[in-house]
Amino acid sequence: MKLYSTNLQAEEVNFETALITGLAPDKGLFMPKTLPHFSGEELAALKDEPYPEIAFQLLRRILEGEIDEESLKAITYDAYDYDVPLEEVNENTYIMRLDRGPTASFKDFAARMMARLMQYYLKKENKELTILTATSGDTGSAVAHAFYGLDNIRVIVLFPETEVSDRQRKQMTTLDQNISALAIDGKFDDCQAMVKQAFADADLKHLNLSSANSINIGRLIPQTLYYFYSYLKLRDYPEEIVFSIPSGNFGNMMGCVLAKNMGVPIRKIVASVNENDEVPIFLTSGEYEKIVPSRNCISNAMNVGHPSNLARLIAIYGGVMDEQGNISKLPDMEKLNGDIFSTSVTDEDTMALVKQFYEENNIFIEPHGAVGIKGLMDYRAATNDNTLAVTLETAHPAKFPAEVKSAIGIEPEPPQSLKEIEEKEEHMEFLDTDYEKFKSYLKERLE
């Protein structure tokens, strides 16, 4: 696999380099130059396999020559040891629940695979790495869990002591082993600034610090796999399918675009956003304008005014967008609009849908999943296309108890993974926002 940078000013690299470096040296995002194409026959042969086997069979082709098959198989089965339910709403609508991983978020799919692939390459080269990450809640717990118990990698998570919920904090502090949690007496921005300063600090170069941020190609590739899986379970090739994806940074949706390029017969990709509507506006007008600051909506993991994966979407349709969001070459807008339908959903409609869905179908959804469902309804109303559709639920409803309760009056039961942490012992250290103290902490721990 050869990967290029979306800024087109960096040399092509292999998968290992793209995975370990994260961002290309010209500040662009890595994109695979070519991907395998799966024929109808190849897809049909996988139909009856369980999730980890389908994932492995796809990855061995996608990552051919980058990792030995035996290791890849072990990694894939270890990463995907949980269910991926497809819940029927009616005969042509299904919900794919991506909320059964250890942190009850779809981010587990990407983070667990990326972590294990990193471990594989580090071990092979006998290297060690420390991941530093600042979080306002959810990303930190998904990253911490993904790397938990792995060799050659430590994780240090910084979080604002008073700004995360009890449950979010416990997801980071009850792990221990190779995971350290640092409660900072400050705001999320202070945590972020301390981490950035550490990355830029020449005195700390020898500590081999890295970030596991969301733009890593190692997170994108695993997000292609569940589109294949749900297609295989619900359709027979070459029947078509529609996917509706609640989107913020558009990583999940990019996974769907790549799955389509690799052969899944996707009729339409519905990219549903909250009131941060810069992408639907761009698709209809060809004019791109970031939303600064981003709008605060209840589907808070999607409050993004400039999606980091947009440069990838534009690249795959023949355009060029730099890291600031400037477009120097417009993509093929006709093709883009042919493949993708994007729509914005208000908070009011989001909450109404959480309620309606429970009343009509007896199904719990949370605000992000509701944006996906409303987007599908908008698409069907606009096109009269009733092709079988899968809409993605990206978090467990129990992760948003207050919102779900205010919509329907009942709190959803938390899954086992969230219940377990209630009884576990917490381990954390406390620091203020003084960078020098943080620096001494890192040196004491890592030297």
Residue 198 interacts with ligand PLP (CB under 6 A): yes or no: no
Name 162's Cβ contacts closer than 8 Å, sequence gap at least 6.
none
137 binds ligand PLP (CB under 6 A): no
444, burial (CB in 10 Å: exposed 0-12, middle 13-18, buried 19+): exposed
The structure tokens listed for 75 are 């990694």
Determine, following the binding rule CB under 6 A, whether residue 213 of this chain makes contact with ligand PLP: no
Binding segment (CB under 6 A) for ligand PLP, from list 10-18, 70-78, 156-164, 243-251: 243-251
- Say how many CA atoms lie within 13 Å of 352 toward its Cβ: 6
Judged by beta carbon, residue 102 or residue 186, the one nearer ligand PLP is: 102
Among 6, 174, 247, 350, binds ligand PLP (CB under 6 A): 247
- Ranges assigned E (strand) in 168-314: 179-184, 209-210, 241-246, 266-273
Q: Judged by CB under 6 A, which of 226, 250, 341, 358 binds ligand PLP?
A: 250
Q: Which residues of 321-345 are buried (b: 16+ CB within 10 A; e: fewer)?
A: bbbebebeeebebeebeebbbbbbb
Binding residues among 270-329 for ligand PLP as defined by CB under 6 A: 301-302
Q: Which long-range contacts (CB under 8 A, 24 or more apart) does 378-382 make?
A: 378/270, 378/272, 378/343, 378/345, 379/242, 379/244, 379/268, 379/270, 379/341, 379/343, 382/341
Among 15, 38, 107, 275, binds ligand PLP (CB under 6 A): 107
Q: Are 144 and 172 in contact (CB under 8 A)?
A: yes
Q: Report the amino acid identity of residue 281.
A: I
Q: Is residue 19 within 8 Å of residue 114, measured between CB atoms?
A: yes
Q: Is 133 in the site for ligand PLP (CB under 6 A)?
A: no
First and final C-alpha spacing in the chain: 35
DSSP 186-199: S-HHHHHHHHHHHH
10 Å CB burial of residue 256 (0-12, 13-18, 19+) is buried
* Shortest Cβ 125–ligand PLP spacing (Å): 30
Please state the closest distance from residue 372 (CB atom) to ligand PLP, in A: 9
Question: Quick one: which segment of 48-56, 203-211, 251-259, 310-318 binds ligand PLP (CB under 6 A)?
Answer: 251-259
Decide whether 105 or 391 has the Cβ nearer to ligand PLP. Answer: 105
- Is 364 among the residues that bind ligand PLP (CB under 6 A)? no
User: Which listed residue (141, 244, 394, 417) binds ligand PLP by CB under 6 A?
Assistant: 394
CB atoms within 10 A of CB 71: 14
How many residues touch ligand PLP (CB under 6 A)? 16
Choose, by CB under 6 A, the member of 283, 395, 407, 418 that binds ligand PLP: 395
Which positions from 9 through 48 interact with ligand PLP, judged by CB under 6 A?
A: none
Q: Which stretch binds ligand PLP (CB under 6 A): 53-61, 144-152, 155-163, 240-248?
A: 240-248
Minimum distance from CB of 416 to ligand PLP (Å)? 19
- CB of 115 closer than 8 Å to CB of 212: yes
C-beta closer to ligand PLP: residue 249 or 294: 249
Q: Give, as one character, the DSSP assignment of residue 398.
A: G
How would you list the strands of the sheet with 209-210, edge to edge?
209-210, 129-134, 153-160, 179-184, 429-431
Is 248 a residue that touches ligand PLP (CB under 6 A)? yes
User: Residue length, the chain?
Assistant: 447
Q: Does 249 bind ligand PLP (CB under 6 A)?
A: yes
Query: Which of 103, 130, 210, 252 is in the footprint of ligand PLP by CB under 6 A?
Result: 252
- In the shown chain, the binding pattern of residues 59 to 98 toward ligand PLP, with x for contact by CB under 6 A and - for none, equals ----------------------------------------
3-state secondary structure of 65: coil
**Of 24-32, 185-193, 248-256, 338-346, which segment contacts ligand PLP by CB under 6 A?**
248-256
> Binding of ligand PLP at residue 339 (CB under 6 A)?
no
Does 101 bind ligand PLP (CB under 6 A)? Our answer is: no
- Please, which residue, 57 or 216, has the CB nearer to ligand PLP? 216
Residues that bind ligand PLP (CB under 6 A): 105, 107, 138, 246-253, 301-302, 368, 394-395
